[in-house]
Structure 1
Amino acid sequence: MKYSVFAVVLLLLSGREAAAQNAAPLTARLDKVSLTFALAPNGQPTYAVQYGSKIVVKPSRLGLALAEGPGFEGPLELTGSEMSNVDDTWQPVWGEVKNIRNHYQQLTVHLRQPQAPNRRLDVVFRVFADGVGFRYEFPRQPNLTYFTVQQELTEFNLPANHKAFWIPGDYDSNEYTYTTSRLSAVDTTPIEAIQEKAAPTRVQTPLMLKSDDGLYVNIHEAALVNYPAMMLNVDTRTFGLTSQLVPAATGTAAYLQAPEHTPWRTIVVSDNAPAVLASKLILNLNEPSKIDDTSWIKPQKFVGVWWEMHVNKASWNYADTSNIKLAGTDWTKLQPNGHHGANTANVKRYIDFAAKHGLASVLVEGWNVGWEDWANNWKEEVFDFVTPYPDFDVTELQQYAAAKGVQLMMHHETSASVTNYERRQDAAYRFMQAHDYAAVKTGYVGRIIPRGEHHDGQWMVNHYVRTAQQTAANHIMVDMHEAVRPTGLHRTYPNWLANEAARGNEFNAWSAGNPPEHETILPFTRLMGGPMDYTPGIFQINLEPWNPARNQGKQVHTTLAKQLALYVTMYSPLQMAADLPEAYEQHPDAFRFIEDVPVDWDDTRILLAEPGDYVTIARQAKGRDEWYVGSITDENARRQEVKLDFLTPGQRYEATIYADGKAASWNKNPMAYQIQKLKVTSKSTLKLQLAPGGGAAVSIKPIK
């Protein structure tokens, strides 16, 4: 039988269309979690997720739009697939647990454009017992070398109008309080923007959701490298979520070169809230440590010249800014303002305090020239990161700290002039090494230079990773503030100890403050991606005594006992005792918990948790049979019963309970606390009474 060329073409095309329409769905599963991949009738790739019989994500679109002609919007055809299983265990350099199991089933799907230029795309799915991760991979191929991602088309179509815990999808800031609402009520319009105003229904990830049928779902991403952060656009009618990549200054999303891949899109799901907090899915999707010798990386507690500036007791700047000509200023001739915090005598006071109480480091902000020449003017050259103010003696303080067994922690505020910082990083890190600084806190306050780039865009994401790499090469630990929210990269770069990337404790000093529920939401949102430098430990809750004229009516929106509990519930290997030494000296008995609590752990148990309401966590100290418990609540008083069945059977312990006082509350009597000691065993149950906005902290040590 003979066919015309036209007929053959028709048969081939119809065959491809039939293959797209009739390709059997592919499924991967582990325990209760299952994922199904399929091609829709129009050839668009889709996926769906279930937890047991419950729908987590309805069939949802996959794909990317490219600037260089046809992208991967569909139609696409399936050319093959592979399935594999992995089950291994690894040990983090530091963390919440000693061992992490990495157990998943992987489905790799090979797709191709059915027409020229026949570009190829792989989608890799990993199904864990607590969720799913997937990413796009671009193989090396003739018709896709250098390319531009205009936008990602990934969807998360939810089955119902879930309860959501969200902040606006601001391209430049995560520093918002959380709104709790149904998806149908998401509206960022009434919220005052910090940097870049979010679209009315655009929200940030991690996005925490709770369904009416008892599922807890968290949507985020893992291993964000060479790609912009993903926001989510909410369809308030259908409850679908669509990815929104942070744009570059050019308006496009990402500039890539094959072979390449995107970050992982993550969906953590469980029928109980504690399991969400216990998930290691995001960490497992990151690459192992790229640092061979990690012996120099030291989780630690520190104090610093910092909070006194926030409470208007001191200033970052050395001189007054009103009557000085800043351009070409000779800093040695400036008239000091009389309240510069980073002066040699004051820093020595903090060093003495750290040495006395066993704290490893002292952070000093405002030590270097340039603070008078900033004021968010979008200025290219502000700081050089090596020139101290006249009243800050670098050599004297280096010697004084070394004699006390304490290290100084560097501060690099870039004023968001990142090009300036990158030009000067080598010199800055050499300066740190010459003066025995082992850690640096970087800051990115303001609008980014290069102008038009965003804090969460590809250009800045690459800067943060480069900074982690460069600091690692110089044996320097780093804590980044005003950076993109973390995605588990502290596994790959364990010198990257912490980020801020959320509304921290400092907002209690100079804004409406953080509502009491704030710290009960953060573990389910911001902390899903990695540790946060939240700066807990404020004892002087009422801020008026520091500066009555400027702090009238200002206070921290927690009790003192809750500030102690945050050292356990807000995980970080870098924890600041954030208040002033004189505040701690008034409460030496309560400060004992900060002295004792570790920052590195062998085990973590999420005992009780509900987003927006309460969190109770127990952690075992690294290498010791000691446990620490933190329990916090929102604006409601609660009674929490904590079973101690995680303790070693047969061993007797002494539990020291730092609790709210009987009449305590965050807004009326926040500094009332009581300390009680009990003998306990693995059969004991602690009954913790939490005041409104309060908490309890417990240390449990074996009786020898």
Structure 2
Amino acid sequence: MKHFLSAILFFALSMLQAQSVASPSKNIILDFKLTANGQPTYTVTYKNKTVVQESTMGIKLKEKPALDANFSIQGSKNSIFNESWKPVLGEQSSIVNHYNELKVSLIQNETNVKMNIIFRIFDEGVAFRYDFPKQSELNYFIISDEVTQFNLTDNYKTFWIPGDFDSNEYEYNETKLSEIDNSKIDMNNGIGVKSIPGKYIVQSPLMMKSAAGLYVNIFEAAVVNYPVMHLNVDVKNYKLNAQLVPNAIGDKAYLQTPCVSPWRTIMISDDARDIVSSKMILNLNEPSKIEDTSWIKPMKYVGIWWEMHVGKSTWDFAGSQNAQNSLTQELLPSGKHGATTENTKRYIDFAAKNGFDGVLVEGWNVGWEDWFGNWKEEVFDFTTPYPDFDIAAISAYAKSKNVKMIMHHETSGSVANYERHLDRAMEVMKKYDYPAVKTGYVGKIIPRGEFHDGQTMVNHFNFVARRMADNKLMLNSHESSRPTGYGRTYPNYIAAEAARGNEFNAWSKGNPPMHEIILPFTRQLGGPMDYTPGIFEIKMSYYDKSKTAQVHTTLAKQLALYVTMYSPLQMAADLPENYEKYMDAFQFIKDVAVDWDESVYLEAEPGDYLTVARKTKGGESWFLGTITDENARKSEIKLDFLSKGQKYKAIIYEDAKNADWQKNPIAYKIKTIIVTNKSKISLNLAPGGGTAISFEPVK
């Protein structure tokens, strides 16, 4: 009898130490347990196949016992959550947030420190975070490491970029997981500041595919008051370990209870469309904290920007001869300054004529003569225009044309300087009616020794979004840490760059044709990207015959990017005079929406192809974009997403038969047909090409 009772007690204790939770569809199951030494571990299966083998969990603390073992389970709680919420701007008018949750309450046997682990299981994946309740045993603490592990079962095909603490502006590598090696990357890639800590550290989100056709994506959500998580890859055993970005003295995060870590996420599906269309990252963030969101508007814009990249003009007013102290000394004009009153009015006229919402002007403010590479603290004041930029006259002129101006704040990486000037800079924006700002963080960070992806900078990027919200201003950040869904909480954080954008095509080896097909599976899972598409003059030899750089797409693909690369802030990035030569193709950019009621991902394969159809917010028009990599592609698309019983005029912007991103990139043709939801359309994409289609209801 005694042995029987002991067996029952052992079985009950084992059951308490192990917990399971399934996704609503039951396809994904997460198993949690404590090992013999009390270490938290988890396992994930998809359709009865193990995807993540037993993997460790926990946190290491500075000058305190590590929270990675000697735990007991105090209790657990299961719950179900199912809601629909409406984003202010987005791909869908309504987003479903449905998951099953398991909360496991742990206590460390020797220290009595309490830590909860919260799991949320969605139909498209798993998320978990560490939760530290208020307690006397743990108040202020410093994280020195995170022992979160993703122990994979396969040598996946992997789309990866180096785990650079200062830049995410890399082209993607496509290799086996076992072949990841940062030492083999060509570093002549146009990136000014690089901080790669090791051969096998890569960035998340990490997109992978098994030989059997299973898609797995590892990322994070709701990074608030915490550093970015990169991944340290064990290339022999296919294990990924969390690699937190340190601060200037090597610590990872300073926290006080109660607090939580970001969510660690694993998306899993046998259909790539489930990954690229997922709203899981957004759903893991807090709802909007802005009560009145009526001032948050989508914008399509042009601007004084690409002309600097192609060498037609410059950001600086004076040139290098006046570079010693550009904030105080008298400047002599170089004659190449782009941000002049006259030139800005020309862009305003173009925007007004073609129905664009805004005009961005870079290089408007003093300081550009001495801004890059000097690690200098005081470069810009964000309030003083150059003498040839009449900010008051420009503001009045834009208002008369019903065009909004978009401010530009390049911080030169001097974050301390920007925070000192931020309130005054916002006052200038409000005085001259600039509803949105593009920020930039090119260069090494000040405070010196901090990284772009560390806790200090994550807090800064989020702080700027909050302060802009306080002043009813929208934010588009460049060179920031990649978004992890914070735009749900502060929807005025309308877009970000945070990846290798279109600009690299102007002056470096550029972005390969597969680049824009990988970004929706990686960078864009966390929020919209300001990629700046719409370049029509593809080859830079057009401006200077000695130049070999070019955009690695066809013109038709540049049009398709307005649909495949979601953002409520979209730039027609080329020069007005270039658009005026191709007004028939430019019509698509004029017509395409930037905010949507519905999005349907029709075809998807990371690195190879992507086809998306979207319905205009509050309207009946649809737009379709399809893009391919360096390979030509043919496909047939059913139009069953269109409304039943309605005829549509389909205007098709496609590659010409002889189009090729290298040999003949500007060759395109346009045709118009009548279709219904029972129709099919044949797509013929050139190498590096694409197709863009507008569907207008026929009355």
Asked whether the two chains share a fold, i.e. TM above 0.5, the reply is: yes
Q: Kindly state the Cα deviation for residue 328 of structure 1 after the two structures are TM-superposed.
A: 6.2
Among 571, 578, 600, the residue aligned to 2:566: 571
Q: Kindly state the Cα deviation for residue 375 of structure 1 after the two structures are TM-superposed.
A: 2.4
Counterpart check, 1:58 vs 2:53:
yes
CA–CA separation in structure 2 for the residues paired with 1:651 and 1:417: 55
Among 661, 665, 672, the residue aligned to 1:677: 672
Among 647, 650, 658, the residue aligned to 1:652: 647
Q: Deviations over 1:40-96 (max 9, x none)?
A: 122110011111112121110000000131121212111110000011111111100
Counterpart check, 1:232 vs 2:231:
yes
Among 122, 125, 136, the residue aligned to 1:131: 125
Q: Deviations over 1:599-656 (max 9, x none)?
A: 0000000000100100000000001111100000000000121110011111100100
Counterpart check, 1:483 vs 2:480:
yes
Look up the match of 1:517.
514
Amino acid paired to 1:27: S
- For 1:3-22, list aligned pairs within 5 A: none
Among 168, 178, 189, the residue aligned to 2:183: 189
Look up the match of 1:179.
173
Q: Kindly state the Cα deviation for residue 327 of structure 1 after the two structures are TM-superposed.
A: 6.5
CA–CA separation in structure 1 for the residues paired with 2:558 and 2:544: 22
CA–CA separation in structure 2 for the residues paired with 1:135 and 1:435: 43
Amino acid paired to 2:164: D
Amino acid paired to 1:206: P
Among 572, 589, 612, the residue aligned to 1:617: 612
Q: Kindly state the Cα deviation for residue 19 of structure 1 after the two structures are TM-superposed.
A: 8.9
Counterpart check, 1:463 vs 2:456:
no
Among 76, 89, 98, the residue aligned to 1:103: 98
SS in 2 for 1:349: helix
Structure 1 residues 324, 645: closer, same or farther in 2, change over 3 A?
closer
Among 548, 552, 555, the residue aligned to 2:550: 555
Look up the match of 2:270.
271
CA–CA separation in structure 2 for the residues paired with 1:272 and 1:167: 23
Look up the match of 2:634.
639
Tell me if the contact between 1:20 and 1:78 (Cα under 8 Å) persists in the aligned partners.
Answer: no
Counterpart check, 1:49 vs 2:44:
yes
Q: Kindly state the Cα deviation for residue 236 of structure 1 after the two structures are TM-superposed.
A: 0.6
Q: Kindly state the Cα deviation for residue 324 of structure 1 after the two structures are TM-superposed.
A: 5.3
Look up the match of 1:353.
350
Amino acid paired to 2:114: R
CA–CA separation in structure 2 for the residues paired with 1:416 and 1:466: 15
CA–CA separation in structure 2 for the residues paired with 1:548 and 1:343: 27
Tell me if the contact between 1:21 and 1:39 (Cα under 8 Å) persists in the aligned partners.
Answer: no
Q: Kindly state the Cα deviation for residue 251 of structure 1 after the two structures are TM-superposed.
A: 0.1
SS in 2 for 1:322: helix
Look up the match of 1:338.
335
SS in 1 for 2:307: helix
Q: Kindly state the Cα deviation for residue 24 of structure 1 after the two structures are TM-superposed.
A: 4.2
Among 526, 540, 551, the residue aligned to 1:543: 540
SS in 1 for 2:182: coil
Among 9, 14, 19, the residue aligned to 1:26: 19
Amino acid paired to 1:428: A
Q: Kindly state the Cα deviation for residue 483 of structure 1 after the two structures are TM-superposed.
A: 0.2
Amino acid paired to 1:484: S
Tell me if the contact between 2:322 and 2:332 (Cα under 8 Å) persists in the aligned partners.
Answer: no
Counterpart check, 1:75 vs 2:70:
yes
Identity of aligned residues (%): 58
Q: Kindly state the Cα deviation for residue 548 of structure 1 after the two structures are TM-superposed.
A: 3.5
- For 1:320-331, list aligned pairs within 5 A: 320-322=319-321, 325-326=324-325, 329-330=328-329
Among 67, 87, 98, the residue aligned to 1:92: 87
SS in 2 for 1:491: helix
Structure 1 residues 268, 324: closer, same or farther in 2, change over 3 A?
closer
Counterpart check, 1:600 vs 2:601:
no
Tell me if the contact between 2:326 and 2:367 (Cα under 8 Å) persists in the aligned partners.
Answer: no
Q: Deviations over 1:141-178 (max 9, x none)?
A: 00100000001100000011111100000000000000
- For 1:389-468, list aligned pairs within 5 A: 389-468=386-465
CA–CA separation in structure 2 for the residues paired with 1:438 and 1:83: 44
Q: Kindly state the Cα deviation for residue 329 of structure 1 after the two structures are TM-superposed.
A: 3.2
Look up the match of 1:699.
694
Structure 1 residues 387, 33: closer, same or farther in 2, change over 3 A?
same
Please list every run of 5 or more consecutive structure 2 residues that lacks an aligned counterpart in the other structure.
1-7
Among 125, 147, 150, the residue aligned to 1:156: 150
Q: Kindly state the Cα deviation for residue 595 of structure 1 after the two structures are TM-superposed.
A: 0.5
The number of equivalent residue pairs is 685
CA–CA separation in structure 2 for the residues paired with 1:264 and 1:586: 49
CA–CA separation in structure 2 for the residues paired with 1:255 and 1:242: 21
Tell me if the contact between 1:44 and 1:61 (Cα under 8 Å) persists in the aligned partners.
Answer: yes
Among 113, 116, 122, the residue aligned to 2:116: 122
SS in 1 for 2:392: helix
Q: Kindly state the Cα deviation for residue 190 of structure 1 after the two structures are TM-superposed.
A: 2.1
Q: Kindly state the Cα deviation for residue 191 of structure 1 after the two structures are TM-superposed.
A: 1.9
Look up the match of 1:302.
301
Q: Kindly state the Cα deviation for residue 198 of structure 1 after the two structures are TM-superposed.
A: 3.9
- For 1:497-516, list aligned pairs within 5 A: 497-516=494-513
Tell me if the contact between 1:602 and 1:622 (Cα under 8 Å) persists in the aligned partners.
Answer: yes
Structure 1 residues 351, 323: closer, same or farther in 2, change over 3 A?
closer
Q: Kindly state the Cα deviation for residue 321 of structure 1 after the two structures are TM-superposed.
A: 1.1
Greater CA deviation, 38-47 or 382-391? Answer: 38-47
Counterpart check, 1:367 vs 2:364:
yes
Tell me if the contact between 2:326 and 2:366 (Cα under 8 Å) persists in the aligned partners.
Answer: no
Tell me if the contact between 2:326 and 2:369 (Cα under 8 Å) persists in the aligned partners.
Answer: no
Q: Kindly state the Cα deviation for residue 118 of structure 1 after the two structures are TM-superposed.
A: 1.1
Q: Deviations over 1:196-255 (max 9, x none)?
A: 124100000110011122211111011110000000011011100000000011101000
CA–CA separation in structure 2 for the residues paired with 1:523 and 1:446: 26
Amino acid paired to 2:610: V
Amino acid paired to 1:104: Y
Q: Kindly state the Cα deviation for residue 21 of structure 1 after the two structures are TM-superposed.
A: 6.7
Tell me if the contact between 1:409 and 1:437 (Cα under 8 Å) persists in the aligned partners.
Answer: yes
CA–CA separation in structure 1 for the residues paired with 2:139 and 2:300: 47
CA–CA separation in structure 1 for the residues paired with 2:161 and 2:657: 34
Q: Deviations over 1:429-451 (max 9, x none)?
A: 00110011100000000000000
Q: Deviations over 1:392-440 (max 9, x none)?
A: 0011101100000001100000000000000000000001100111000
CA–CA separation in structure 2 for the residues paired with 1:301 and 1:16: 66
Q: Kindly state the Cα deviation for residue 16 of structure 1 after the two structures are TM-superposed.
A: 12
Amino acid paired to 1:372: E
- For 1:206-221, list aligned pairs within 5 A: 206-221=205-220
CA–CA separation in structure 1 for the residues paired with 2:115 and 2:9: 17
Structure 1 residues 324, 652: closer, same or farther in 2, change over 3 A?
closer
Look up the match of 2:4.
none
CA–CA separation in structure 1 for the residues paired with 2:276 and 2:521: 6
TM-score by length of 2: 0.96
CA–CA separation in structure 1 for the residues paired with 2:327 and 2:252: 39
Please list every run of 5 or more consecutive structure 1 residues that lacks an aligned counterpart in the other structure.
1-14
Q: Kindly state the Cα deviation for residue 554 of structure 1 after the two structures are TM-superposed.
A: 1.8
Structure 1 residues 450, 211: closer, same or farther in 2, change over 3 A?
same
Amino acid paired to 2:220: E
Counterpart check, 1:291 vs 2:290:
yes
CA–CA separation in structure 1 for the residues paired with 2:113 and 2:11: 20
Tell me if the contact between 1:56 and 1:159 (Cα under 8 Å) persists in the aligned partners.
Answer: yes
Tell me if the contact between 2:323 and 2:369 (Cα under 8 Å) persists in the aligned partners.
Answer: no
Q: Kindly state the Cα deviation for residue 546 of structure 1 after the two structures are TM-superposed.
A: 2.3
- For 1:380-395, list aligned pairs within 5 A: 380-395=377-392
Structure 1 residues 537, 198: closer, same or farther in 2, change over 3 A?
farther
TM-score by length of 1: 0.96
CA–CA separation in structure 2 for the residues paired with 1:386 and 1:18: 69
Counterpart check, 1:590 vs 2:585:
yes
Look up the match of 1:167.
161
